[in-house]
Amino acid sequence: MHQFAVRERYLSFEVRDTHYNLGKPCGLLVAQLALGLAGQDRAEIRVQVVELLARQGP
């Protein structure tokens, strides 16, 4: 997906009938999270996100 955002002119990505704008700040990150959360490893991804947020502090 990153290669498309850099090389091609794809400005959106669709996961489960929801479009994500890759041209917006953090758009690629949000699309990658949506893709991961729509897959079979969603529980592991949720754990990783929660751990990252916990490490950031208030």
What global pTM score does this model have?
0.66
Q: Total structural domains in the chain?
A: 1
Q: CB under 8 Å to 50, separation ≥6 — which residues?
A: none
Question: DSSP secondary structure string, the chain?
Answer: -HHHHHHS---EEEETTEEEETTSTTHHHHHHHHHHHTSTTHHHHHHHHHHHHHHH--
Q: In this model, does residue 6 exceed pLDDT 70?
A: no
Range of the domain at 51: 2-56
* Section 33-45 average pLDDT: 92
